Amino acid sequence: MRPYFEILRVKQWIKNFFVLVPLVYSKHLFDEAYLTEGVLAFVAFSFVSSVVYIINDIFDADSDRNHPVKKLRPVAAGKISKNNAWIYAFFVLVPVFISAALLNTEFRLILAAYLVINFLYSVKLKHVVLIDLFIIAAGFMLRVIGGGLAINVEISSWLILTTMFVSLFLAVMKRRSELDNHGTKVGTRRVLESYSYSYIDQISSVAAGSVIVCYALYTTSERTISVFNTEYLVYTTPFVVFGIFRFMFLVHINQKGENTSEVIGKDIPSLMNILFYILTVLLIIYL
């Protein structure tokens, strides 16, 4: 049964905490009704993302065999056949349907859009330059928007833009790391042939700067100050700046970043920065 657990990529579920962003910033984190709906939304996105990973592994099995790490994935390694993987994907959809059925129609539409977009990404769009990056960004934006719709709260436009640029930044950094580690000769990701170091570095600089600017504008906007009744949220900006610069250091200097969750999870400065950021935000918003 281990291969069937591995193919779910549970470690990647950490990305779905973006679903809970509206819950935290709406000041309803400790409200039982809102928390329940937020958790249901998190569960739905976690399992639907696992379905996406399964589909992705099916379509990428041949190219994954050329990758030093991805070749160990269950489908690429032959531990799970493609037919069994398809059947398993439909079974994994069951908890998605159950949790989504307990939420509103708007959230279910966002969830369906996420599944369709990522299916198209796995089939074709991951090989189209720039489109591959924007679909990754769209996935994170749908998580945030879905989290807001699940609990029926309005989301700041600046927060959505910040999410878009953060995900674009991480996606570009992932591509750069892939170029560092594998180049364009190994048939692991065809779209890398369309990227160059100079082009990726320019995009990453734009994305990184946009994250910082959008987040700073969010913390200083009249709506934010009015909602939280404080201007202190601006003091969380240095954590965001440090996080961006630290990740750029890991990719450019240490040549890491192909697996974002794993890299950040093993980097103590990044983990401490995230911890202090979360604690600071909670103190400012709720106390």
Instruction: List the Cα angle 16/125/114 in 5-degree steps.
Output: 30
Contact 267, 246 (CB under 8 A): yes
For every residue of 113-156, DSSP letters joined together read HHHHHHHHHHHTGGGSTTHHHHHHHHHHHHHHHHHHHHTT----
CA 228 to chain centre: 26
pLDDT in tens, 5-27: 999 999 999 999 999 999 999 99
pTM: 0.92
Express each pLDDT in 241-274 by its tens digit: 999 999 999 998 887 767 788 888 889 999 999 9
Check residue 183 and give its pLDDT: 62
Phi (first) and psi of residue 8, to 5 degrees = -75, -25
Give the residue extent of every domain in the chain.
8-155, 156-287
Q: Is 5 exposed, middle or buried (0-12, 13-18, 19+ CB in 10 A)?
A: exposed
Check: CATH 2.102.10.10 for 8-155?
no
- Nearest residue to 233 (alpha-carbon basis) of 246, 248, 222, 249: 222
Tens-of-pLDDT digits for all 287 residues of the chain? 899 999 999 999 999 999 999 999 999 999 999 999 999 999 999 999 999 999 999 999 988 888 888 889 999 999 999 999 999 999 999 999 999 999 999 999 999 999 999 999 999 999 999 999 999 999 999 999 999 999 999 999 999 999 999 999 999 998 888 888 766 555 567 788 888 899 999 999 999 999 999 999 999 999 999 999 999 999 999 999 999 999 999 998 887 767 788 888 889 999 999 999 999 999 999 98
